[in-house]
Structures are given as structure tokens and as C-alpha cells.
Amino acid sequence: MASEHETPTPSSSFDPSLPKGQSCSDCPFCSISFIYAPYDPQNPPDARSRIIDPNLPSPGPSTFIVLSTPQVMAFLDIMPLSVGHILVCPRNHRPKLTDASQVEAAELGRYLRVLSAAVVRATGIKDWNVVQNNGAAAAQVVPHLHFHIIPRPELRDKRSERFTATMFGRGQRDDLDEGEAVVLAEKIRQEVAKVVKEDQKQQNSSKL
């Protein structure tokens, strides 16, 4: 299971314990991180591999993994705002952005760029939002730090106002089509592998 929440330096008025009901055992993202082992993003497992089987969380909702490293997880949103909507989070339980360690923050930043590029390639949609909410008042539903990467097919679409409202916690969202999700997740994993390899090649070239 994910590691314990890091305890800040105590003060006379500060309670370092997690709020009741917010422990790792109650967190759906911690459950996902426990179920799915890390794999090399440059060599993702085959779509039929048990390692990324969407049904592993059963009886919970199916999970379509697109990245699983020792520090960072990414998977399709089960109620997407658009095709290619994914969630990116640290593997360890961190309620808010300020709870992430420096290493986690650096890895999240790295893979937000990689995953953004992969989603653009996999969907063909060249505009997207990166959204991150902190706390219930800011429309954070799952109390585990996560970023949304949300493709935006057309800003001038008549549904734009509804889209923006829903993105911040208001409005109706549709369930993920699992048949389409299997294909899409595979596309994104393959594009992630390509982007990471390109980055590695560029890094090696800069050292020459």
C-alpha cells in the first residue's frame, strides 16, 4: 500500500494526523496504486497482459492504466469530459499539491508533459486543459492529489459553457465506454513510450 502521509514539524495548534475517513485504505487512487505494479514506460505491457488488466479492481470500477511508475500513476477518467481525459497522480497518498514531496512534484511535472504529448498524438486533438483542484471548496472530489489532462476538441462548440462548468465540479458527466477505453489506453501507452524514447534520445545527443 502507499506510504504514510509525511508528518510536518508539529506546532502547538497543528494536528498532523489525517482527517477521519481520509486514510489510504479509503482512497480509490491508493487502491489503484496498490493493485497495479510499476512498469517501464518505454516498454509498456501488451494490452492483454495481466499487469494492466482493467478488471483487477473488481468489484470496483474498471481501471485503464496509461502510465505506472514507482512515483506516478495515470489512467483514464471513468467519467470523461472528452475522449482522452486522463488523471495523473502520485502513487503515494498525498491529499493536496502542497503535500507532495520534491521528488514526486518533479516526476509529476515530467510526466504531465509526456502524457500531454501522448494524449495529443493518440486523440489527434491539439488543444487541452491541465486542471488540478485542492480541497472540496475547489471541487476536488477524491482527496488524493491528481491532475486532469482534458482534450478540448473545439472551444467554440455550443457545449463549451457546460464543459467548463462540469470541469470545475458542476453539471453532468458521461460514463466511460469500456470497449473504446481498451483501445484508447493502448494508444496512449504506446505514444507515451515513443515520447519517453524521444526524450531519452535527445538527452543523449545533448551530452555528445
pLDDT reported for residue 127: 95
Longest dimension (CA), the chain: 54
- Domain count of the chain? 1
Q: For each successive 10 residues of the chain (208 residues), what is the average pLDDT? A: 40 37 74 95 95 93 96 96 96 96 96 98 96 95 96 67 55 81 98 96 81
Has residue 173 been placed in a domain?
A: yes
Has residue 132 been placed in a domain?
A: yes
pLDDT reported for residue 167: 58
Selected catalytic residue, list 93, 144, 146, 148: 146
CATH number of the domain enclosing 197: 3.30.428.10
Rg of the chain over all Cα atoms, to the nearest angstrom: 18
pLDDT reported for residue 22: 40
Question: 143: domain range?
Answer: 24-203
Has residue 3 been placed in a domain?
A: no
pLDDT reported for residue 120: 98
Has residue 11 been placed in a domain?
A: no
Has residue 96 been placed in a domain?
A: yes
pLDDT reported for residue 203: 84
pTM (predicted TM-score): 0.82
Backbone angles phi, psi at 196, to 5 degrees: -65, -40
Has residue 59 been placed in a domain?
A: yes
3-state secondary structure (DSSP) of residue 151: strand
Tell me, yes or no, if 93 is annotated catalytic: no
The angle formed by the CA atoms of residues 42, 133 and 166, to the nearest 5 degrees, is 100
Has residue 123 been placed in a domain?
A: yes
Has residue 196 been placed in a domain?
A: yes
pLDDT reported for residue 117: 98
pLDDT reported for residue 123: 97
